[in-house]
Chain A
């Protein structure tokens, strides 16, 4: 009785376990952060310093010239305008592809969950197979299709490829989320006189914020980071930044400019980093949202 009122004493074993736990966590964090730190440090050094110093030595001066070179002057193949044009290309591909695939996924999920038709489960199962098709398998058929549609080597073509490939995933996300929405909501709206799209727009979509955030993050990251489709289906002017980065790293005149490579790599990764930092907490929240009915 008296012991309970004093409060529980932590034993030294518990303290030791705590310390061990934090040590392991710190080591794991270091393992993941170390490459980024090396990249950042390297990008701030000049070529001479990279050659003489060690990987982890701090730069003697804060030299941002590698960054400006990577952005505006570095050569990718024969083109010496830095990665900035390709950075914009990536946005031109990612933004429409994310918006269209998310919208289509939302409508698909809405139909499959709340407007079940004969065979809708089979349709969903078939669509799921799309999540498991490796990228490489569809390269040749897709090249033929794009040629046939007359959008080969264009931004439109790349948007098309990403939308087609993304819809399986976005549908899966929205379908699982809408599965938790009671069907009576749709019934009530139908009796109130609302139609298919009115119900979607006025009732279902306003409930979908968490899953929209998840889908947008997922699709943005997938499409921004894509290299294979980018290298296979882009034209000379429409390459995404990932392809340009590869070309930049592989193009060298004389000595290798690791500082420029690193700066370019960080620039190419910034948008996805920004998306995670800004919306990361919604990502985790949205992924678990379907699990507990709120």
Chain B
């Protein structure tokens, strides 16, 4: 277990800069997730931490040792790959013990270690099989076993669940979280799946175009996105972005929405809007903040009830998504399935702006921080 410091790391291929100065520091035992769309540089950063790619500038420290120019095998890290990268010609047991063998661990100790890992991951019955004889989930376990056997200082996971089917992915996600809680290891985990990021991470680094957009706990990132990109990337269905005009009402800046009628919504930080009266800003409102009227919320400060026209409904079992148009933007609302909402009808909905955020329309930057 060790801490990891990524200090102003840059990576260039020719003239294109893939990493534009990354700064991340994580504590020993922390679970960090690098998340972002493909091409954002998260895999390059991962490979740089592993030493599989050289960085152009900056430093990488593991357990306070500068390993920027150390070869991969001397960094004491283990990695789980998206394709698992199990050695096809070796049995499961040989796969798990290969790293130990390369480090000249005596045979008896290797066997003990293989048993320990196999029991931990419940793959003892598979030890004599070849990777080709395993299912996807089993391969995934073996790949993790190979990483665990060496007890490295740092674990790197490169999209380890992407090749699994949806159900197995959720199961393995829980497994990984349990494993982390049990072993308390330091993990850096790359994914493009924001749900994986939310559920697993102690902290998330949202990346785009070779830059960290925001580094924070899952809840911070969900509630307090630094910019439009982070707000839109995290959360499913995505946050609603509504272009809204700031109007002054009794001296208070309010946001004007055209739903079925025109309504003005209060904003929790009116001072952030004071300089924007008469301008249009982007209001960010999560779908769960637009619901059917809920009696216990009536009369609260930032709750407004208004009529909307239902365009489409998408029942999801636990909730029904209602899609409507507000200020000419398509928005998602999350309602109780029992609430009648026939497409084409006009129904009453409750807008809760207590957690709303606003962005500058042009730059996408938050206006209320």
Contacts and interface: CB of A to CB of B under 8 A. Distances in A.
Interface string B246-266: 000000000000000000000
Nearest to A181: B88
B83 interface: yes
Given A192-B102, A193-B99, A207 B88 contact: yes
B83 A189 contact: no
Contact of B85 (A185, A193, A194, A206): A185
Interface string A186-207: 0111111110001000110011
B52 interface: yes
Nearest to B82: A184
Contacts of B88: 207
B81 A184 contact: yes
B79 A188 contact: yes
B85 A184 contact: yes
A207 B72 contact: no
B34 interface: no
A182 interface: yes
Interface in A153-211: 182, 184-185, 187-194, 198, 202-203, 206-207
Nearest to A204: B89
B284 to A, nearest CB: 38
Interface string A238-275: 00000000000000000000000000000000000000
B239 interface: no
A187 B79 contact: yes
Contacts of A187: 47, 50, 52, 72, 79, 81, 85
A175 B46 CA distance: 27
A207 B78 CA distance: 24
A190 B52 CA distance: 8
Nearest to A185: B85
A194 B94 CA distance: 14
Q: Which of A184, A187, A192 lies at the interface centre, i.e. has the most chain B CB atoms within 10 A of its CB? A: A192
Interface in B131-185: 146, 150
A268 B103 CA distance: 52
B83 A193 contact: no
Contacts of A184: 81-83, 85
Q: Which of B50, B79, B82, B85 lies at the interface centre, i.e. has the most chain A CB atoms within 10 A of its CB? A: B85
A238 B273 CA distance: 95
B77 interface: yes
B87 interface: yes
A182 B163 CA distance: 15
Interface in B85-125: 85, 87-89, 98-99, 102-103
A198 B89 CA distance: 14
B297 interface: no
Nearest to A208: B89
B73 A207 contact: no
Nearest to B158: A184
A198 B102 contact: yes
A56 B99 CA distance: 67
B87 A203 contact: yes
Contact of B89 (A182, A193, A206): A206
A194 B102 contact: yes
Contacts of B102: 192-194, 198
Interface string A24-67: 00000000000000000000000000000000000000000000
A192 B85 contact: no
B89 A192 contact: no
18 contacts: A182-B83, A182-B85, A184-B82, A184-B83, A185-B85, A187-B52, A187-B79, A187-B85, A188-B146, A189-B98, A190-B52, A191-B52, A191-B73, A193-B99, A193-B102, A202-B98, A203-B87, A203-B89
Given A187-B81, A189-B98, A202-B87, 18 more contacts: A184-B81, A187-B52, A187-B85, A188-B81, A188-B85, A190-B72, A190-B73, A191-B50, A191-B73, A191-B77, A191-B78, A192-B98, A192-B99, A192-B150, A193-B102, A203-B89, A206-B89, A207-B89
Interface of B: 47, 50, 52, 72-73, 77-79, 81-83, 85, 87-89, 98-99, 102-103, 146, 150
Across the A-B interface, give the 10 residue pairs with the lowest CB-CB distance, nearest first: A193-B102, A192-B99, A206-B89, A184-B85, A188-B85, A193-B73, A184-B81, A190-B72, A185-B85, A191-B72
